[in-house]
Amino acid sequence: LTQFVLKRSGMSEAPLSPPAVPTEQLLEAETEEPKLYRFPPSKINVLLLEKCHAKGARILREQGFNVTEVPRAYSEEELLEIIPTVHAIGIRSKTQLSARVLAAARRLLCIGCFCIGTDQVALSAATDHGIPVFNSPYGNTRSVSELVMAEIIMLARQAGDRSMELHRGEWKKTSDGCYEVRGKTLGLVGYGHVGSQLSILAEALGMQVIFYDVIPKLALGTAKPQQSLQALLGKADFVSLHVPADPSTQGMIGAAEIAQMHKGSYLINASRGKVVDVEAAAAALKAGHLAGGAFDVFPEEPAGSTKEFRTPLQGCPNTILTPHVGGSTEEAQEAIGEEVAFKMAEFINRGPTMGAVNVPNVAVRRQLEHGHTRVLNFHKNQPGVLRDINRVLSGANIVSQSLETGYGIGYLVVEVESEMTDDVNIALKKMENSLRTRVLLRGTP
C-alpha cells in the first residue's frame, strides 16, 4: 500500500510510530482455503485520502495499524488498482467509492467517511459485501450553521459586493437594498442537525423561523413547521437548504420554485450541489427577482484545487460563492477525525457497528477473554441462517450472542469458549447466505 502511494505521489516514505498491539487481534482469511493465524495489527492497511484530520490518523496509528495518508482524492482507476490491498479506507466528499470499486475490495473491512454525508459511497453495494460505512453526522453542525448565519447577514447588507468594489478601488457607500435581519423570516428546508442549530442562532438575532421537512420534527424555540415546500417559499425572506442528496432532492429548487419566492428574497445552499438548478438561480439573481444568494456547494466540483472552476453563478450580483467549506473549520475536522477513526478502530478490533449507516447496529460491550473466540458474521436476512451458524459452532460453548437485522442483511456477533479451528472458519465462510465472516481471537496467555 505504502509503495503504491509513494509511486503515485513521488513522496518519500515517512517513519510510522511504533505499533501498540491491541488486546484483541484480527484473524482474516486471505485465500479460498485460509489457515487460521493471528493477523498482526501492523498488517492492517488503512488508507486515508483527502487530508483526513491528523487526529484521526493518530488514533488509527495508535492501534498499531499501517496508516497511509494521501492529501487528495483518488480516481476510480486508482482505487481499483489499490483497493484489493486495503483493509480500511477513510475519505471525505470527493472520493467516489462506486459499486465497481467495492466489488474489487476483497479485504476491505470498513469505510470511514470523515464528513457528514455518505452519498459518495455506493451504500447498497457496501451492504451487500458486508462492509460497514461510518460517518460523523454531527461533527460539523456548528461550523455549517455559523457560516450560513454569517452569509445571511452579509447578503442582507450586500457586504460581499461592497468588499469587491473596494478591492477594485471603488468607494460606494449606500443603504439602498440593505437591511437588518431582525424581524425577517428564515425558511429552513430540512430541519435536521444543521437546520435546527441554525434555527437557534437565527432566533437569537431576532429572526422568525419557519421550516419544512418530509419527516415530522420537534420545533425548537418558536420555529413553526410548514405543511409544504411551496408554503415555506412564499413566506420566507431567506430560504436556506439543508437536505441530503437523494433522488427526491435532486433539482428540488428550480425555476418554478424560485418563482414562488417573493421578489427581493435570498437563496442559500450549503447542502448538496444538485439540489439547486444553478442556471435558474443565476437567471433570477441577474433579473433582480432574487436579491442575493450564497452557494457553498455545486453540481460539479473539482477533486482538488484549481484556477479553472466555472459556474453560471459567477458574476451574479450580491452572490457569495465558497468552495464547499461549510464544515471546514479546525474544530469540526478534529471532531470528525476523532469520531470516525474511533468507530473504525472499534469495529476492526472488537466488531461493534454502532453508528454505521448501512448495516444493522450491534453494540459489543464484553471484553474478549483469554482463550475465547468472537465470530462476526454478515449474512443475507433469510430464514435458517442463524440455525446453520449455530450448527457450525455447536462444538463450543456459546458465551454471548447478539443479532440485529436491517438493510436486507443480518449481523451476528457470537463469543465462544474456545479457540476456533480452521474447519469452523472455512465452514462459516462457505455458508450459502454468508456475506462476510471475521474471527477475533484472544489466545491463552
As annotated, the active-site residues are 272, 301, 324
Helix (H, G, I), strand (E, B) or coil at 307: coil
Of residues 421, 363, 316, the one with CA closest to residue 27: 421
Greatest distance between any 2 Cα atoms in the chain: 85
Cross-strand pairs, 398: 416
Distance CA 318, CA 332 (A): 28
Cell 428550480 identifies what position? 254
Give phi and psi for 189, each to the nearest 5. -100, 100
How many CB atoms sit inside 10 A of residue 17's CB? 10
For residues 210, 216, 222, 228, the Cα torsion angle rounded to the nearest 10 degrees is 20
Distance CA 343, CA 354 (A): 8
- Using an 8 Å Cβ cutoff, are 203 and 228 in contact? no
Distance CA 426, CA 322 (A): 52
146-151 long-range contacts (CB < 8 A, ≥24 apart) are 146/201, 147/270, 147/296, 147/322, 147/325, 147/326, 148/194, 148/198, 148/240, 148/268, 148/270, 148/294, 148/326, 149/198, 149/201, 149/202, 149/205, 151/268, 151/294, 151/320
What count of residues does the chain have?
A: 445
